[in-house]
Amino acid sequence: MLDALWLIPALCLAGACANLFLGTLRAPKAVVTVVGVGSVGAATAVAYAILWAYLQQPLAVVVKPYFTWISAGDITVNASLQLDPLSAVMTAFVTVVGLLIHVYSVGYMHSEGNAGFARYFAYLNLFMFAMLLLVLGSNLAVLFIGWEGVGLCSYLLIGYYYRQLWCAEAGMKAFVVNRIGDLGFLLAIFATLAAFGSLEFETVFPAAAADPASFGPEATVIALLLFVGAVGKSAQIPLYVWLPDAMAGPTPVSALIHAATMVTAGVYMVVRANVLFRLSPTAMLTVAVVGGVTALFAATIGLAQNDIKKVLAYSTVSQLGYMFLATGVGAWVAAIFHVVTHAFFKACLFLGSGSVIHACGGEQDMRRMGGLRKHMPTTYWTFLAAALSIAGIPIFAGFFSKDEILSRAYAAGASDLNGFGDAYRVLWTLALAAALLTAFYMFRVLFTTFHGSFRGPEEAAHHLHESPRSMTLPLVILGILSVVGGLVGLPGQLLHIEGLNLIDRFLQPVVIPLAEAGGHAADAAHAGHGLSLATEWGLVLGSVAAAVGGVLLARRFYLGAGAFVLPKLLAERLPLLHRVLLNRYWVDELYAWLIVRPVRALAGFCWRVVDELAIDTLLVNGAAFGVELAGDLARFTTTGNLRNYALMVLAAAVGIAALLW
């Protein structure tokens, strides 16, 4: 059964190729639907059959080499797939969330033309192929192919409505910003090859773990370069700017690529390379700082956005920051746990917002929504479940993963991890503040969209309707997963029950123990178990208080008779703060001024001066002009007079004779 591992991505690729072909034929949507959803459905079925077979045997790393891809000198790179606990977890949720969003897309995209519909599903299937290749690849090179593949599909789908210039531009922005990160990743691959002579996970990581002392400096370089790649793909400061713009794509794409799966690839990659990160306290601290600061920074921007998808986009950036904070404090499993729960609740939120936008006829501004609860109850309840989950209200999935990250961050500060205790304590405070803001802005969205009365135009009010079955069904399933998804990671240590945390037990082999700490402080993998029970419960109460506080604050601000009074008052009292948040700290403008403008000036210089003046005018046309001029002058020697020629012959003969003298 495990030999069929290649089928999982291959089925999606086959679907993509078939849909491209169907698109050129303008095939009816029913056929495209069968191929597009069917191929991913088949891949999901195969994936779960394989996972079932995998779980029947003792946990091990299964590597399936298929063929030699690159062979140069003593470097060999195989095209091979790998099944281990980490890729198993990733495959499990990527296929399910992907399938649900494919189903949802059938309803959401029904008003597209036949060719556009097929193009959409071809890209979406291609994305599934690349994403599964990314999580299943057994070396950095295969991972990189998947990494670039999802980036390509992201670009194609952001620019899906390419007739609108701003959508095409958003796609290009995503591609260009990602390229910065990809350069870091590529350098990390070369550095790994130089340091270890191999790219295989099963060769590199055990080698590094077995000899921590000698790979220290290399590990720092590789880990930081890998993190540059992760910062680009997973939209962290300073490269997060592409993700909010990526909302130009269709909403299911935002849910699948820009919330649930692709953007978490960076987290996956960091967790995959956890050995290298653990060897380098510097890299760990960098990851934690970037993650923690991003979590709070993006959350503050999310407070003041009026576009429902923009709020969710900044929320995604913020939650990704949480995941990186988790990896930065050594909570590898908690990071992946949050990736999974985040995939459930954020996909649900995005699909819910898509359902809302669908009902409002394409309107995305929350100021022209409101009171939708009556018209679309299914969307409301699933959105509520997901919002409670992301806010971190107990029992819901997000609570368990977020709480674990917060407590591990606190533990890192308390145990003075790697000697950076103060930094980690500050990061924990930032993360707690971000948790409060998350609860606040999510319920701001919920209250302004679904509660109160409809504020849109009169005619739009008549068209409000619940979405079709193909859209509500994925919503319900994802809503349920947002509620119960956390049960795989119950915090057993709080209740003194060993092994209650299934995902922790399952994923622990991914964190290969280091042979000797080799001068570094305590291995971060077990720092979380150093807290006393009272502290742990105190931390839980603290994070719950932050979540509830955020919800209550949102209720005071945006619900009931006094709705919107306080926010308006606050905006008037603190105009500077309001404008800063509304304009997203002017980061885009700063980048435009600091980077885009000089680059454009340089490009203009290269074009006008180097290319047009120096190369075209001086070198190319100049050479031609010089030859022409020389010919023009030289032709006057051809007088046609015989005795002139005789004189020239004589002069030449005399000249040669003089030369030979």
Partner 1 sequence: MNAELVPIPHTWVLALSAVLFAIGTLGVMLRRNAIAIFLSLEVMLNSANLAFAAFAYRFAAAHVAAAAALDGQIFIFFVIAVAAAEATVGLALFIALYRLKETIDVDRFNILRW
Which residues bind to partner 1, rule: CB under 8 A?
Answer: 635-636, 638-643, 646-647, 650
Q: How far apart are the first and last CA of the chain?
A: 92
**Number of Cα atoms under 13 Å in the Cβ half of residue 623:** 5
| Cα distance between residue 318 and residue 301, in whole Å | 10
* Residues ≥6 apart with Cβ < 8 Å to 408: 326, 329, 330, 331, 334, 527, 528
Structure tokens at 636: 């006057």
Q: Closest approach of Cβ 652 to partner 1, in Å? A: 13
What single letter denotes the amino acid at residue 475? L
| Cα distance between residue 302 and residue 477, in whole Å | 26
Q: Closest approach of Cβ 633 to partner 1, in Å? A: 11
| Cα distance between residue 409 and residue 425, in whole Å | 7
C-alpha angle with apex 265: 7 to 32, nearest 5 degrees? 45
Virtual torsion, Cα 189, 191, 194, 200, nearest 10 deg: -30
Cα–Cα distances (Å) from 19 to 40, 105, 167, 390, in that order, read: 12, 15, 23, 35
Q: Closest approach of Cβ 624 to partner 1, in Å? A: 20
What single letter denotes the amino acid at residue 240? Y
Q: Closest approach of Cβ 622 to partner 1, in Å? A: 24
> Toward partner 1, which CB reaches closer, 111 or 638?
638
> Toward partner 1, which CB reaches closer, 73 or 640?
640
> Toward partner 1, which CB reaches closer, 592 or 651?
651
Virtual torsion, Cα 449, 257, 125, 226, nearest 10 deg: -170
> Toward partner 1, which CB reaches closer, 194 or 653?
653
Q: Closest approach of Cβ 648 to partner 1, in Å? A: 11
Q: Closest approach of Cβ 628 to partner 1, in Å? A: 14
**Number of Cα atoms under 13 Å in the Cβ half of residue 16:** 16
Q: Closest approach of Cβ 647 to partner 1, in Å? A: 6
Q: Closest approach of Cβ 625 to partner 1, in Å? A: 19
> Toward partner 1, which CB reaches closer, 496 or 635?
635
Structure tokens at 25: 């034929």
Q: Closest approach of Cβ 601 to partner 1, in Å? A: 49
Q: What is the DSSP letter of 627?
A: H
Structure tokens at 634: 């030289």
> Toward partner 1, which CB reaches closer, 73 or 631?
631
| Cα distance between residue 222 and residue 204, in whole Å | 12
Nearest CA among 284, 282, 348 for reference residue 312: 348
> Toward partner 1, which CB reaches closer, 453 or 641?
641
> Toward partner 1, which CB reaches closer, 2 or 647?
647
C-alpha angle with apex 544: 538 to 548, nearest 5 degrees? 145
Q: Closest approach of Cβ 650 to partner 1, in Å? A: 6
Q: Closest approach of Cβ 639 to partner 1, in Å? A: 5
> Toward partner 1, which CB reaches closer, 163 or 635?
635
> Toward partner 1, which CB reaches closer, 462 or 643?
643
Nearest CA among 342, 313, 328 for reference residue 241: 313
Structure tokens at 272: 């995959």
> Toward partner 1, which CB reaches closer, 72 or 642?
642
Q: Closest approach of Cβ 635 to partner 1, in Å? A: 5
Cα–Cα distances (Å) from 76 to 64, 70, 226, 421, in that order, read: 15, 6, 21, 42
CB 30 within 8 A of CB 116: no
> Toward partner 1, which CB reaches closer, 30 or 642?
642
Task: Mark 269-299 as b/e (b = at least 16 C-beta within 10 Å).
Answer: bbbbbbbbbbbbbebbbbbbbbbbbbbbbbb
> Toward partner 1, which CB reaches closer, 70 or 650?
650
Q: Closest approach of Cβ 629 to partner 1, in Å? A: 15
| Beta bridge partners of residue 75, listed in sequence order | 72
| Cα distance between residue 120 and residue 142, in whole Å | 25
Q: Closest approach of Cβ 638 to partner 1, in Å? A: 5
Q: What is the DSSP letter of 517?
A: -
> Toward partner 1, which CB reaches closer, 610 or 650?
650
- Helix/strand/coil for 657: helix
> Toward partner 1, which CB reaches closer, 515 or 650?
650
Q: Closest approach of Cβ 644 to partner 1, in Å? A: 9
| Cα distance between residue 253 and residue 309, in whole Å | 12
| Cα distance between residue 505 and residue 489, in whole Å | 9
Nearest CA among 102, 104, 107 for reference residue 36: 102
What single letter denotes the amino acid at residue 76? T
